[in-house]
Amino acid sequence: MFVRLFQYKVKRLFRTKDELFWCLVFPLILGTFFYMSFGGFQDKQETFQAINIGYITTETGKDEDFDQVLMLLSKDGKDQIVRIKTTKEEEAKKLLLDKKIAGIIYNTLEVTLTVNGEGINESILNSFLNQYIQKRETFTKIAQISPDKLNEVLELEFKDSSYLQEIRFTNASIDPMTSYYYALIAMTCLYGCFAGLSSAIDIKANMSTLASRRLVAPTNKMKIILGDFFGAVFVQFICTLITVCYIIFVLKVDMGQKINYLMLTAFVGSLIGVTTGLFIGSIGRQSENVKSAIVLAGTMVECFLSGLMVGNMKDIVERHAPIINRINPATLIVDSLYSLDIYDTYDRYMRNMISMLILATILCIGSFLAIRRERYASI
């Protein structure tokens, strides 16, 4: 029975023109539009922007080698990786607070790093420093144990790598434009709200005759709603996957290698999109049109705050009202994708996923409680 209901819901959704437009055609058009306005992504190595830092050093006790390496990396030109904005501590601290620089590197008695935030630039600096320190230890050890080998090792080291390659955690694309595509994927997921909304309306006897018709059948209400619900999630998932594939394979945007995690994100994202619609559909007695308008407007606001229209919106929100970023499903999706791309570890990704699952569960329970009612006072 459940399978039948599921199949019919899927069939119905794929035949609903509005649904297909919002969940499939619109994201593809928007993606293409982004592509045309940002241009291609082939040049992203060149477009890498040097990271602004503050560099504080003292004449005594500083690590000379590090000093040299940093000077090398900050040399003007195509390969420039860091740009030293200031060497004065006071100014550097001020710049750091204003986010004008990504971090302050101290080369005093010890090489240390102070950052403000957890963006990609901060991560690069952090990794770079760790790598340096680790290598320094290694070389020092080699020098102590077998000094004659040191030259060989050093030669090898410099031949096969540039620092840039090494400090990358993954093969991440660090083009800031990618965040627009993340937001686009989030939007596609969240458009599941329409399918969720229709699932709710089709089971509320005071909102549609179709619901009355289904409720007088000898089929459990929960079974019907679950069939519809998972049908909606499935369709939304497919639409999101198509959008993701279009972005990766047609627009050739680099989304990293973790395809299975990407799919998991798309699934959980679709889930939360559908539950949002289900919830709005379940509560209150506004007409279907009003509810559609509410979910559409809500989704647009969520997407706006996650950076669909203004790229760094997410950071702005993070500074002024971080709580919004923790509960805005669009931001959670964007941040999941972002952290997949940037980090080797899955801590932040998991944090986002769990937030989304909790949110979805709350919305689901709320919806089911609202729908559960057995008889209506008025139809």
Partner 1 sequence: MSAAVIKIENLVKRYHELVALDHFNLEIKEGEIFGLLGPNGSGKTTTINCILALLSFDKGNVEVFGEEMAPNKYHLKQDIGIVFQNVAVFNELTVYENIEYFCGLYIKNKQTRKQYVEEAMEFVGLNDFKSFYPKKLSGGLLRRLNIACGIAHKPKLIIMDEPTVAVDPQSRNKILEGIVELNKKGATIIYTSHYMEEVEQICTRIAIMDKGKNLAIGTKEELKMMIKTGETINMEVLEIEDKNLEEIKKLPHVYQVEYKENKLHIKCSKGKHNLIRVLDYMQTNQIAFGRVYAELPTLNDVFLEITGKELRD
Ligand X SMILES: Nc1ncnc2c1ncn2[C@@H]1O[C@H](COP(=O)(O)OP(=O)(O)OP(=O)(O)O)[C@@H](O)[C@H]1O
Q: Encoding tokens for residue 185?
A: 């994927």
Cβ atoms within 10 A of the Cβ of 59, count?
5
Position 372 contacts partner 1 (CB under 8 A): no
Position 260 contacts ligand X (CB under 6 A): no
Position 375 contacts partner 1 (CB under 8 A): yes
Position 226 contacts partner 1 (CB under 8 A): no
Partner whose binding site includes residue 109, from partner 1, ligand X, none (CB under 5 to 8 Å by kind): none
Position 378 contacts ligand X (CB under 6 A): yes
Position 379 contacts ligand X (CB under 6 A): yes
Stretch that binds partner 1, among 1-9, 114-122, 284-292, 342-350 (CB under 8 A): 1-9
Partner whose binding site includes residue 214, from partner 1, ligand X, none (CB under 5 to 8 Å by kind): partner 1
Residue with smaller CB distance to partner 1, 141 or 213: 213
- Spatial distance between the Cα atoms of 342 and 174, rounded to a whole number of angstroms: 8
Give the DSSP per-residue string, 286-320: --HHHHHHHHHHHHHHHHHHHTSSSTTHHHHHHHH
Widest distance between CA atoms in the chain = 91
- Spatial distance between the Cα atoms of 269 and 323, rounded to a whole number of angstroms: 19
Partner whose binding site includes residue 209, from partner 1, ligand X, none (CB under 5 to 8 Å by kind): partner 1
Residue with smaller CB distance to ligand X, 144 or 378: 378
Residue with smaller CB distance to ligand X, 109 or 379: 379
CB of 8 to partner 1, least distance (A): 6
Position 3 contacts partner 1 (CB under 8 A): no
Q: What angle do CA 135, 139, 143 make, to 5 degrees?
A: 170
CB of 377 to ligand X, least distance (A): 8
Binder to partner 1 among 78, 98, 216, 289 (CB under 8 A)? 216
Residue with smaller CB distance to partner 1, 11 or 285: 11
Residue with smaller CB distance to partner 1, 114 or 219: 219
Please say whether the dihedral angle defined by the alpha carbons of residues 172, 174, 320 and 181, taken in this order, is positive or negative: negative
Position 218 contacts partner 1 (CB under 8 A): yes
Q: Is the distance from CB of 243 to CB of 28 less than 8 angstroms? A: yes
- Spatial distance between the Cα atoms of 76 and 340, rounded to a whole number of angstroms: 31
Q: Is the distance from CB of 257 to CB of 171 less than 8 angstroms? A: yes
Binding mask 14-53 for partner 1 (x = CB under 8 A): -xx-------------------------------------
Q: Is 205 helix (H, G, I), strand (E, B) or coil?
A: coil
Partner whose binding site includes residue 375, from ligand X, partner 1, none (CB under 5 to 8 Å by kind): partner 1
Binder to partner 1 among 60, 209, 260, 289 (CB under 8 A)? 209
Packing angle between helix 288-306 and helix 178-190, nearest 10 degrees?
A: 160
Chain residue whose CB lies nearest ligand X: 378
Q: Count Cβ neighbours within 10 Å for each residue of 302-333 and write b for 16 or more, e otherwise.
A: bbbbbbbeeeebbeebbeeeeeebeebbbbbb
Position 42 contacts ligand X (CB under 6 A): no
- Spatial distance between the Cα atoms of 325 and 315, rounded to a whole number of angstroms: 9
Q: Please report, as ranges, the residues that interact with partner 1 according to CB under 8 A.
A: 1, 4, 8, 11-13, 15-16, 205, 208-210, 212-221, 374-379
Q: Please report, as ranges, the residues that interact with ligand X according to CB under 6 A.
A: 378-379
